[in-house]
Structure 1
Amino acid sequence: MSARLATDVLIVGSGAAGLTMALSLPSHMNILVLSKGELGGGSTAWAQGGVAGVLDEVDSVDQHVEDTLNAGAGLCDPKAVRYTIERSACAIHWLVDQGVPFTMADGSDAQFHLTREGGHSQRRIIHAADATGMAISTTLIDRVNQAPNILVLENHVAIDLITLEKLGVTNEPNRCVGAYVLDTTKDETITIGASFTLLATGGASKAYLFTSNPDGATGDGIAMAWRAGCQVVNMEFNQFHPTCLYHPKAKSFLVSEAVRGEGGLLRLPNGQRFMHKFDERAELAPRDIVARAIDHEMKRLGADNLFLDISHKPASFIKSHFPTIYKRCLEYGYDMTKEPLPIVPAAHYTCGGIRTNEHGSTDLVGLYAAGESAYTGLHGANRLASNSLLECIVYARAAAEHIVSSSLKPFNAEQLPLWDESRVSDSDELVVITHNWDELRRFMWDYVGIVRTDKRLERAQRRVKLLKQEIMDYYSNYRVNADLLELRNLVVVAELIIESALSRKESRGLHYTRSHPQTNDNAEITVLSSTER
C-alpha cells in the first residue's frame, strides 16, 4: 500500500536537532517530524554529560574556541568553531526558555551549576544532574506536542530522499523535494513532498560491534544524502567513548565523562593508575587519548576490561552528582560509592558527516542537515566533550532562520510518484539480514576500530564491497522492512568510513594507524563526493 502527504518542512529525526528546528520555525508553517521509533528513543535522551557553553565570567569564547581546536587536532574549521561558540550562550538560554530543568549551583536559585569534562580548561558544562539529554528530550517533546502546526509520525523510517534529478526533471535545477518513508506499524510506504527537508538522524556508531548508542544509530541520513549526491567529510573520525560499563546485560550504558571530570580515576586490574603515562592531563585528557590508552593497556595485559574509580569521593557527593549512573550501576551489582566500575571503550560519536555550511545547508538545494549526521567543521579530528548537544541547537536554529528567509518556491507534492512495489516480493530469508548485520559490525570492530593498519583496512574494504552487493541485491528483489533499510544504510556508511580511513596516510585525532603513526605537517579534511564516481 502507498499514500501521499505534503508539508512545508520535513524533519527526519526527532532528537535535539530535529525538535529544535521544529520549534524554531514560525507557527504558520506546516512541519512534519519523522521518528524512527517512539519519541525520545534516539541518542539525545542517552546523553548524560551536558551542553558546553560560555556562561561563566571567568570563562571566555576564546578559551572555549582554543579547547575545541586543541581537541580537534588541527582539523577543525576555525570559523565554524567560533561561529558555534559565539552562539553557545544564546542556544543554552533558548533551552532554558523552553523549560529544560538544568541543575542549579548549591544554595542558589539564580546560578546554574557548571561542571568540567575532559579537554575543557574551565567549568562550562551546564547539565541536568547526569541525565541532561533526557531532560532536553523530554522538554522539547512536550513543547512539540503542544504545537498545532507540528505533526509527529512515530515508527516511520525514511527510505530515500526524492530529488528532481531522480524524477528525471531536467528543465529546472536539481533540489530535494521530500522523501519516501516506511510506516512500520502499517507496513505502508508514504510519499512525502516537502519544500524543505532536514536530516537530523544522528550518527552511525551502530556500524561497530560495541557501541554506547541506541539501536537506531545506523547512519540513515548520511547514507541517504550520499545517495542523493551530497558530499561527506571526515568519516574516518569515529569517537570511541572510553568508559562504557562492562557487563553482559549493560547494553550500551556509558559512564559519563563527567565522572572523570569530578575526580574519577582510571585503574588497571591491580588498582594502579596509568593515564599519567600517556598524557600529562591524565584522566582529563581528550577522549581519543584516553580510549587509546585503555585499549593499549587491555591488549598489553590481555584484560577484558579496566576500571573507573570514584569511590574515594563522599557517597553523598556521588549520589547527588550522578544519581542515574549510581542507580543503573546498582542494578548490575556495582556500588560506585564503594568500588571501582568495570569499563571498556565503545563506539560513541561520528565526527564526520554530510557537508554543511553555517546555515545547515547541504550542497543539495532544499536539503539541510544538523546534529551528528552533519559535518559543520566544529569537531575536526576529535569532538570535545559536550560540544555535540551545543552543535545540535546552534545549527538547527540557524537552519530554521535560513528556511524562513529562503526565496525557494514551494513544491507541489501532487507531482511526486508513489512508491513502486510492483516488481518485488516478500522475503522468506530474513536470516540473511541478521547474518550480514553481524558480519558487518564485527569486521568494522576488528579492522576499523580504535587502532588501525593498512592491511586491516584493506581486508575490511574487500568484505564491505561484497556485503554491499549482497544487500543491494536483496533490496532490489524484496519488500523493504526497517531492518533491511538500516542495514542498507549502515553498509554504505561503513564503506565511506573505510574509504576515508584508507585515504588518510597519517595518524591524527581519532584516526590512529600503526601503518602511518606520524602526523603530517599539513592538516586536510577528507572529502568524498558521489558525483565524481
Structure 2
Amino acid sequence: MSRREVVVDGPVIVGAGLAGLTCAIELAPARCVVLSAGALSTGTSTGWAQGGVAAAVGPDDSPADHAADTLAAGAGLCDEAVVASITAAAPEAIEWLTSQGTRWDRNPDGTLRLGLEGAHGRRRIVHAGGDGTGAELLRTVVDAALRLDSVTLWEHTPARRIVVEGGRVTGVEADTPDGPVVLRTPAVVLATGGIGGLFSHTTNPLSSRGQGLALAFRAGAALRDVEMVQFHPTALDVAIDPMPLVSEAVRGEGAIIVNERGEWVLADPLSARDVVSRAEWAQLQAGHRVFLDARTTPGPRFAELFPSIHATAVTAGLDPTRDLLPIRPAAHYHMGGVLVDADGQSTVPGLFAAGEVASTGLHGANRLASNSLLEAVVCGRRVARRLRDASGQSPTGLPPAELVENPVAAITNAEYGARLDAPDRRQLHQQVRRIVTAGAGVLRDEAGLRRALRDLQPHLDDDTGLVGYLVAHAALRRTESRGAHTRTDFPQVAEPRHTLITLDDVEGIAA
C-alpha cells in the first residue's frame, strides 16, 4: 500500500488523553493535529483515574506544603525546582479546568470538596464525580477540543515512527485505516501515557505498553529512570484483566488493609504506595490473602463516595459494607519516561513529551497520589505555550499548508483494534507480560532481571518487547532500593542518581 505524505503547519500531538488534548486546547488558535490510536475517549488512562487532582487550594494548605509532600514521596530523585514550579501552578490549573467546563465536587457552600490520600499531609485532592474524576476531565478536554477549529483529530491512527532528519524532527509516520501516512511537521508532542500493559497485573488499559517510549528511544531521545514503576497497592483481585482500581481515597476515608485473619498488614494504611505494596507482597508470598476492609469506614457511605468502585464490587458479587475486598499490588503508574526540560523538550530537537510518558522531575522515585493528572494539565499547557511562542518559525524549512481531514473509512473501534492486535501480537504481548512481571515486578534481583533480559532479547524489534527490555535493563543498573524500585539483593539506599538510557547504551536496537 502506497504511503501518503501530508504537510501540516502545526505540531502533531500523539495521544488524545488529558495531556495531549490539554496541549491542543492551549495551542489555539495555532493549529495542530492530534492522533488517537483508537476511538476518541477510549484506551487512555485518563478516563480511568479515580483519584483526583492534587492542588493546594484549602485554607490550611500551601504549594510549599504540597511540594514538601511530593519531595518526600519522590525518595531523593525529584527535581526540586520542577516540584516547586508545578505545585505552585496547581491552583491555577484547577481554575483553568473549571473554565473549560469541569464539574468539580463541591460543598454546600460552593467551595471545592477536598479529599485525603496517602502521603499527603493535607486534604488537597480535588474530585469530580466522586471516584470518576478522570472520566470527567476526559469529557472536559474532549468537548473543548471538538469545539476548536484549530484542532484536527485523527482517530484509529497509531504513530509508528518519528521521522528525524539532520538531527531534528521532521515528521511522524502513522497508520490509518486507509493506509500509512507521513505527517510532515517540525514538532511532535508525545502524550501516549504509561506502560502498565507490560505487566500481568495492572490497573491501566492493556494498550498502555510504552509506545511513546519506543518512539522516542528509536528517534534517539534519552530516557530517564524507566525502572521506576509504581504498583498501586489496592487493585481489586477479582479475575478481571486489567484489574479494577480501588482508589487511594478509600483508605483516606478510613478503610484498612488486613489479611484473611483480620490482622493489619501495616500500621499506617496511608503510607506511600511503595511501602504498602511491599507489605502486601510479603503477605502474598507468605501464603496469605490481602483485603481492604471498608465495612466500618466509610461503611454505609461507600456507594455515595465511590459509586464506580461500588458498582464494580457489586458486579463481582461483593458488598463493600459487608464483605472484605480482595486486593493485590498492580502496575499503575510509570515515573520514568522521556527526559524533558521544563517546557517538555526532549533531547531531540522538535520532539516534546507531556504526561506520563515524560520524565519531568516531578515524581522522582515514587509518585505522590493525584500528582499525575496535575502534571498532565500543567505540562501539557507549558508545551503548548513553548510551541505557540515559536509559531511562525519553520526550523525544518517546510512550507506551510492547510491541514486536511483524515479520510478514515467507516470502521468500528473493535474492528480496528482486532487489526492491530492479531492473534500473534496478542500471544507476544502475553509472553512479554509474563517475563516483565516475573523479572521486574514489585521485588527484583539480579538473577530475575538477567533472565528477563535474556528472554526479551529476541523481541527487540517489537515495541512491547523493547520497552520491557529497557525497564529490566535500567532496573539491573540501579543497584539499590529506592522508592518504587526494590532490589532484594541491594536493599540499601545509595547516593541519589538518575538512570539514563539512549540507543548507544543498548546493542541490537533498530532505530
TM-score (norm: length of structure 2): 0.91
Matched, 1:438 2:430: yes
SS of match in other structure, 1:357: coil
Q: CA RMSD in A?
A: 1.9
Residue 199 of structure 1 pairs with residue 199 of structure 2: no
Return the match for 1:181 from 166, 174, 178.
Answer: 174
Q: Give the CA deviation at 1:532.
A: 5.5
Counterpart position of 1:514: 488
Q: Structure 2: which amino acid aligns with 1:221?
A: G
Contact 1:17 1:200 survives alignment (8 Å): yes
Unaligned 5+ residue runs, structure 1? 166-173, 277-281, 416-426, 473-487
Does structure 1 residue 491 correspond to structure 2 residue 483? no
| Alignment deviations for residues 305-336 of structure 1 (CA, whole Å, 9 cap, x no partner) | 41101110365421221111111211111111
Do the aligned residues in 2 keep the contact of 1:5 with 1:413 (CA within 8 Å)?
no
Give distance in 2, aligned partners of 1:61 and 1:493: 35
Q: Which moved more, 1:289-298 or 1:3-12?
A: 3-12
Contact 2:78 2:363 in 1 (8 A): yes
What is the identity, as a one-letter code, of the residue corresponding to 2:337?
G
Take 2:228 and 2:298, find their aligned partners in 1: how far apart are those partners? 37
Label 1:268 to 1:57 Cα distance change in 2 as closer, same or farther (>3 A): same
Tell me the distance in 2 between the aligned counterparts of 1:510 and 1:314.
Answer: 28
Is the contact made by 2:254 and 2:298 (CA closer than 8 Å) also made in structure 1?
Answer: no
Q: Please, which of 262, 281, 284 is the counterpart of residue 270 of structure 2? A: 284
Q: Secondary structure at the match of 2:374?
A: helix
Amino acid aligned to 1:35: S
SS in 2 for 1:283: coil
* 1:143, distance to aligned residue in structure 2 (A): 0.9
**Counterpart of 1:57?**
59
Is 1:299 the counterpart of 2:273? The answer is: no
Residue 149 of structure 1 corresponds to 150
- The separation in 2 between residues aligned to 1:411 and 1:5, in whole angstroms, is 15
Does the 8 Å CA contact 1:114/1:124 hold for their aligned counterparts?
A: yes
**Alignment of structure 1 residues 107-506 onto 2, 5 Å:** 107-109=108-110, 111-128=111-128, 129-165=130-166, 174-183=167-176, 185-186=177-178, 188-249=179-240, 251-276=242-267, 282-300=268-286, 302-303=287-288, 305-313=289-297, 315-406=299-390, 408-409=393-394, 411=396, 431-468=423-460, 472=461, 488-506=462-480
Instruction: Using the TM superposition, give the Cα deviation of residue 215 of structure 1 relative to its aligned residue in structure 2, in angstroms.
Output: 1.9
- Letter of the structure 2 residue corresponding to residue 178 of structure 1: G
Letter in 2 for 1:284: L
User: Is the contact between residue 255 and residue 298 of structure 2 (CA under 8 Å) also seen in structure 1?
Assistant: no
In 2, distance between residues paired with 1:77 and 1:127? 27
Q: After superposition, what is the alpha-carbon deviation per residue over 1:355-389, rounded to whole angstroms, capped at 9, x for unaligned? A: 00110111111111000000000111100000000
Contact 1:61-1:86 within 8 A present in 2 as well: yes
Q: Which amino acid aligns with 1:404?
A: R
AA aligned opposite 1:10: V
C-alpha contact (below 8 Å) 2:105/2:126 kept by paired residues: yes
Alignment partners' CA distance in 2, 1:294 and 1:388: 23
Query: Cα distance 1:232–1:151, how it changes in 2: closer, same or farther (>3 A)?
Result: same
Task: Structure 2: give runs of 5+ residues left out of the alignment.
Answer: 401-418, 507-511
Count of residues paired in the alignment: 483
On the 8 A contact 2:339/2:360 being kept in 1, the answer is: yes
Give distance in 2, aligned partners of 1:394 and 1:430.
37
Partner AA of 2:139 in structure 1? T
Deviation at residue 65 of structure 1 after TM alignment: 0.9
Cα displacement string for residues 69-120 of structure 1 (whole angstroms, at most 9, x for unaligned residues): 1101111111111111111111111111111111002x222x0000010010
CA–CA separation in structure 2 for the residues paired with 1:241 and 1:452: 17
CA distance in 2, matches of 1:74, 1:330: 41
- Alignment identity in percent? 36
Q: Which amino acid aligns with 1:409?
A: S
1:250–1:310 Cα change, 3 Å: farther
Q: Partner of 1:6 in structure 2?
A: 7
Shift of 1:211: 0.7
Taking the aligned partners of 1:242 and 1:256, their CA distance within structure 2 comes to 10
Structure 2 partner of 1:477: none
2:33 equivalent in structure 1: 32
Q: Which residue identity lines up with residue 446 of structure 2 in the other structure?
A: D
Structure 1 residue 464: Cα displacement:
1.2
Which residue of the partner structure matches residue 94 of structure 2? 92
Q: In structure 1, the residue corresponding to 2:158 is in which secondary structure?
A: strand
When residues 506 and 90 of structure 1 are mapped into structure 2, their CA distance, relative to the original with a 3 A threshold, is same
Q: Distance in 1 between matches of 2:298 and 2:330?
A: 28
Which whole-Å deviations, capped at 9, do the CAs of 1:142-198 have from their partners, x for residues lacking one? 111111111111111110001114xxxxxxxx2112200011x33x10111112210
Helix, strand or coil for the counterpart of 2:442? coil
* Contact 1:230–1:364 (8 Å) recurs in 2: yes
**In structure 1, C-alpha distance between the alignment counterparts of 2:154 and 2:188, rounded to whole Å:** 15
What displacement does 1:230 show?
A: 0.4
What is the alpha-carbon distance in structure 1 between the residues aligned to residue 283 and residue 429 of structure 2? 29
TM-score (norm. length: structure 1)? 0.88
Alpha-carbon distance in 2 for matches of 1:314, 1:82: 33
Whether the aligned pair in 1 keeps the contact of 2:131 and 2:306 (CA below 8 Å) is yes
8 Å contact kept, 1:9–1:32? yes
**Conserved 8 A contact 2:196-2:206:** no
Q: CA deviation at 1:430?
A: 5.8
After superposition, residues 98-109 of structure 1 pair within 5 angstroms as: 98-105=100-107, 107-109=108-110
Alpha-carbon distance in structure 2 between the residues aligned to 1:64 and 1:414: 45
SS at match of 1:260: helix
- The 8 Å contact of residues 193 and 412 in structure 1, kept in 2 or not, is answered as no
Question: 2:265 and 2:152 mapped to 1: Cα distance?
Answer: 51
Code of the residue aligned with 1:510 in structure 2: it is: A
Preserved contact between residue 180 and residue 189 of structure 1 (Cα < 8 Å)? yes
Residues of 1 paired with 2:431 and 2:242: CA distance? 19
Question: Partner residue of 1:17?
Answer: 19
Alpha carbons of structure 1 residues 370 and 218: separation in structure 2 relative to 1, 3 Å: same
